[in-house]
Copies of this chain bind each other. A is one copy, B any other.
Amino acid sequence: MGSLDTNPTTFPTDVDSFQPLNADDVRSYLHTSVDFICDYYKSVESLPVLPAVEPGYLRRLLQPAPPTSSAPFNVTMKELREAVVPGMTHWASPNFFAFFPSTNSAAGIAGELIASAMNTVGFTWQASPAATEMEVLALDWLAQLLRLPPSFMNRTGAAGRGTGGGVILGTTSEAMLVTLVAARDAALRRSGSSGTMAGITRLTVYAANQTHSTFFKACHLAGFDPANVRSIPTGEETNYALDPAKLLEAMQADIDAGLVPTYVCCTVGTTSSNAVDPVGAVAEAAARFNAWVHVDAAYAGSACICPEFRHHIDGVERLMTCLDCTCLWVRDTHRLTGSLETTPEYLKNSASDSGAVTDLKDMQVGIGRRFRGLKLWMVMRTYGAAKLQEHIRSDVGMAKMFEESVRADERFEVVVPRNFALVCFRIRPHGGGGAMTEEDAEEANRELMERLNKTGKAYLAHTVVGGKFVLRFAVGSSTQEERHVRSAWELIQKTTTEMMKGEI
């Protein structure tokens, strides 16, 4: 029979073996990495934003097969500096104005670093109480900054816990997908085909044609019929925002045809041109048909922490759900967990059984999850609301000045009114005393973009709005200062002048 020392001799004494978290390695690799990062930030301004490498360049520089033996960490770092860095598009560069900025901060990186060292997997509350509770707390903090209605919050009030809550997801797409699935299941139940997908071809979803393509992808993933995904036309008259009258009309037509309006995606700050769909009016329309409303504010949501921008999400009180900036809030978490809950035997535990805790695995695509709440909390805790607001205002202020410069140069025009920190502009077809046609203008703007991007001194992307080829100037890279915006504008002017003197 067993006792304390039954089989200790079964185990040989420890041998000197590979320790992936050896204290010396951890300390030296990480401090080395921090020094690399500091040098990188120092030099990134002078690196070409868009690298001039050809497809396949990295394979020509690095070994084609994994090494058998280990190498000193400095060898890895040398290859990183010499092979990887020269092929990076530097999103951290102050001269990056493409897409949307990928913002960052010292406290945010620190939070990510600590989370990846702790490497906790918080699928259930029990699997990491602090990770779950931190995520819930950070979302409640952010909800307060955004002045979301309390019905979206996890906070336990005097009257006990409500049904609201949030989750931090990897991408906007995932937030759309999980809410689409929850809305799909609810609509199937409502229309009497619970427990089968037979009714799925009757469900319809709606969004303005300016909505991010990931929405249409998410609809496809969730099995909505391509014929039932309504992309509602927009135009200059609404600055490319969703027209609630057109939405109502489309929903009514579907009802008349025996279909089931299920979900409306409403965007605050479209990717293309920062159009703002009217949340309140859209919610009102959707409510008539019992459809789920999701607000995608992946970009502009954070601006709403400033009171002067908060009106863009007015009407959010009416919602059955949402507001997303990789943070997803819903008014009734049971709508999500009802569709997404899985509880295999090995994840059962008394805390979950008690109903007193949130298991965040049931509000996302997968089961495993990183400790994402930590960095969100560390950013808010360290910088505080005032600095975060100041930062947003500074970005918007720089965009405003850029916009004014564009307006002051008659060769250019601002194509849609600026809402946040994105300026959509172009060389004007008939400006500058010349007689450039629309076609010539497209060609000229494309040429301008390519010339600018080739300099390595700025990187801009383009879009097409209302049939016009437009340059997008997105301010907000976390290393950006006014001098970078000013230099970029000077470069744009100079390049345009050269182009006009030359072939055009």
Query: Is the pair B381, A120 in contact by a Cβ cutoff of 8 Å?
Result: no
Q: How many copies does the complex hold?
A: 2
Q: Return chain B residues, CB-CB under 8 Å to A217.
A: 340, 342, 365, 367
List the 9 closest A-B pairs by CB distance, nearest first.
A223-B223, A171-B366, A173-B366, A87-B130, A20-B105, A58-B133, A213-B342, A25-B106, A66-B141
Q: Is A1 an interface residue (CB 8 A)?
A: yes
A192 at the interface (CB under 8 A from B): no
Contacting A1 at CB < 8 Å: which of B103, B113, B410, B461? B410
Q: What residues on B are CB-neighbors of A87 within 8 Å? A: 129-130, 133
- CB-contact partner of A76 in B28, B41, B172, B381, under 8 A: B381
A502 at interface (Cβ–Cβ under 8 A)?
Answer: no
- Residues on the B chain within 8 Å of A1, using CB: 409-411, 432-433, 497
Number of interface residues of A (CB under 8 A): 192
Alpha-carbon distance between A462 and B390 when the two chains are bound, in angstroms: 50
Which DSSP category, helix, strand, loop or mixed, fits chain A's interface? helix
In the bound complex, CA of A112 to CA of B412 (Å): 42
Tell me how far the C-beta of A240 lies from the nearest C-beta in chain B, rounded to whole angstroms: 13
Residues of B contacting A455 in the complex (Cβ-Cβ under 8 angstroms): none
Check: A316 CB closer than 8 A to any chain B CB: no
A416 within 8 A of B: no
Q: In the complex the two chains form, is B121's CB within 8 Å of A91's CB?
A: yes
> Contacts A2-B411, A405-B7, A497-B3 given: A106-B342 contact, CB under 8 Å?
no
A381 CB to nearest B CB, Å: 5
**Interface check A238, CB cutoff 8 A:** no
Are the CB atoms of B110 and A493 closer together than 8 Å? no
Those of A181-207 within 8 Å (CB) of chain B: 181, 184, 195-198, 200-201
In this assembly, does A231 line the interface, its C-beta being within 8 Å of a C-beta of chain B?
Answer: no
In the complex, A17 Cα to B387 Cα: how many Å?
9
Known A1-B410, A66-B144, A133-B56; judge A391-B20 contact (CB<8 A).
yes
Q: Does A385 have its Cβ within 8 Å of any Cβ on chain B?
A: yes
Q: Are B34 and A346 in contact (CB under 8 A)?
A: no
CB neighbours (8 Å) of A212 from chain B are 344, 367
Contacting chain B: which of A241-249, A256-264, A436-444, A484-492? A484-492
Seed contacts A76-B382, A113-B116; 9 additional CB < 8 Å A-B pairs: A3-B497, A18-B383, A25-B106, A29-B107, A55-B351, A66-B385, A71-B384, A272-B345, A345-B464
Closest chain B residue to A5, Cβ basis: B490
A66 touches B142 (CB 8 A): yes
Contacts of A13 in B (CB 8 A): 482
26 A–B contact pairs at CB < 8 A? A1-B433, A1-B497, A20-B107, A20-B383, A20-B478, A29-B109, A30-B37, A41-B117, A50-B126, A55-B125, A55-B129, A58-B133, A58-B134, A62-B137, A65-B144, A67-B381, A68-B385, A71-B381, A85-B130, A86-B130, A90-B120, A98-B127, A177-B221, A197-B224, A212-B344, A220-B340
